[in-house]
Amino acid sequence: MMSAAPPQDRGHPPIDFPFSGVASWEGPTWVEFYEGGIGHPMTTLWLGHRVRDGRAHLSVGTHNQRLDGWRLEEDLAFDCLFVLSERMRPDSRAVQFPPGFNKVQIDHVHALSLDWQNWPTLPCTVDDSDAVMSYQRYAWGWAGFIAEVGVAGVKLVGVDVEPETVRLETVREPRRYGFDPTGRLSVDDLYDRRERGEDPRLPLPWSTTVHADHRALIEQHDLG
């Protein structure tokens, strides 16, 4: 069993599970972020993919944890929707949501995740084999998951990349994402890379506006 890192370590041990990316992607690719306790094996590795000369992007999160007492699909549904909902937030310096909105949005995400069995589904491919993706749209993007992949499924978040176009594959050349999964993976390195201007993401077009889905939650719960 892989041992935990020292408490002061700002990283994760090397990855010991297969992880997925988008097959034959043309455009910038990078490591977005890690999920899991600092100093402990990560529970999800998120890889980013952006089209060349555009803002359309697709995030792929390989999940590596099954929670006792949770259906795997419910866990995947909540995680991918939560990531999407956070990504859909406008810049707080430009738009202020009313008090109570954060809880309302999380409750909305939780309710949708409990109803994962009624999410729309689409056929997709993983390593050239047929699979089924469940997905849900929110604001300017969509969130989806494929439960029957790898150790504990794959989560996806897409913006201006339609879910029916998704083709995944096991990553054989992690260097194209700019990292080495056989070494310690430092959270600080991700932040340092962004500060040096190496973050391949672009400013998002919704950073100064509120989506109709946000307004609907505000009105539904009388938040003002």
pLDDT digit of tens for each residue in the chain (224 aa)? 444 444 456 688 889 899 999 999 989 999 998 888 888 888 999 999 998 888 889 999 999 988 777 799 999 999 999 999 999 998 888 889 999 999 999 999 999 999 999 999 999 999 999 999 999 999 999 999 999 988 899 999 999 999 999 999 999 999 999 889 998 888 777 766 665 555 666 667 778 889 999 999 999 999 87
Q: Is residue 2 part of a domain?
A: no
Our count of domains for the chain comes to 1
pLDDT at position 193 is: 67
pLDDT at position 222 is: 92
Q: With contact defined as beta carbons under 8 Å apart, do 58 and 22 qualify? A: yes
- State the residue range of the domain holding 136: 11-220
Q: Is residue 108 part of a domain?
A: yes
Q: Is residue 190 part of a domain?
A: yes
Q: Is residue 177 part of a domain?
A: yes
Q: Is residue 1 part of a domain?
A: no
pLDDT at position 185 is: 83
Other C-beta atoms within 10 Å of 118: how many?
A: 10
Q: Is residue 4 part of a domain?
A: no
Which residues on adjacent β-strands are paired with residue 185?
12
pLDDT at position 201 is: 63
> Taking CA 18 as the corner, what is the angle to CA 15 and CA 20, rounded to the nearest 5 degrees?
110
pLDDT at position 99 is: 94
Q: Is residue 3 part of a domain?
A: no
